[in-house]
Amino acid sequence: MDVSGKKALVTGGGRGIGRGIVLAFARNGADVAVADINTADAASVAAEVGELGRRALSLDIDVTDQASVDEAVRKVMSEFGDIDILANNAGIIAAPGWEERDSSNESDWDMIYEVNVKGIVRVTEAVSPHMIERRYGKIVNIASGAGRQGSADNPPYNASKAAVISYTQSSAFELAPYNINVNAICPGLLWTPMWGRIASRTVLRRDDLAGLSPREAFEKIVRERIPLGREQTPDDIGHLAAFLASNVSQNITGQSINVNGGSRMN
């Protein structure tokens, strides 16, 4: 997983899976730009990168705003000179108020698509010309097991992650002639702020979870769904992201790899 001397940009890097990816890159030798819409979170994780002895840059980014994306990429190029690795992690589960709604509405569809799909497209299209010019790059997109199999719980989110998987494959074809690898990771069940929202909503809709805290409900769901019987962690995702960003993965592209404790095997 050696990425020594590489320069990485991680969107949504301020917490959860994004933080796990940032720290995995830094532990394996990369300098990391931590980009997040929450600037305090980004600054905190950037400080952790500095404590690991790597250069860090904290950035404000709104992946729904092309000007914000372009400015963030400009700042990374100005500070680091290059972008060798891009991890597209910024994502949302739904629009505000989703926990209390019986079903998804148009605001969920619109907001999820803007962040989870078009956000990845915007950042990739802003970064890839620099990679094409140097004929080198590693792009890692965060998808989800929900993109492989839908459910009644959150159709907009599921569809967005299926789109990420498809876009990953299309980008892999497009960028392969320039020695750029594009892959996706499909995380399983991780206790993150996003899963806190999911668990809160699920408690309201399952009688067998009544009276449980969101964390307790999450642990019960893990026991039900995960053959290995344990939740996944941001570090698990970070380890795979670092592998895919390293040169030992030079012949892996267009893949969407599960990290899910066996909940789906394909």
Which residue ranges make up each domain of the chain?
A: 7-188+233-259, 190-231
Confidence of residue 84 (pLDDT cuts 50, 70, 90): very high
3-state percent breakdown (helix, strand, coil) of the chain, nearest 5: 55, 15, 30
Per the confidence metrics, is the pTM higher than 0.85? yes
pLDDT tens readout for residues 30-61 = 999 999 999 999 999 999 999 999 999 999 99
| Alpha carbon 259 to its chain's center | 13
Q: Which residues are catalytic?
A: 157
Q: What is the pLDDT of residue 181?
A: 98
- Residue 204: CB atoms within 10 Å: 12
DSSP conformation class of 81: S
Q: Among the CATH numbers 3.40.50.720, 3.40.50.300, 3.40.190.10, 3.40.930.10, which is that of 7-188+233-259?
A: 3.40.50.720
Q: What is the pLDDT of residue 153?
A: 83
What is the rounded average pLDDT of the residues 255-262?
97
pLDDT tens readout for residues 103-117 = 899 999 999 999 999
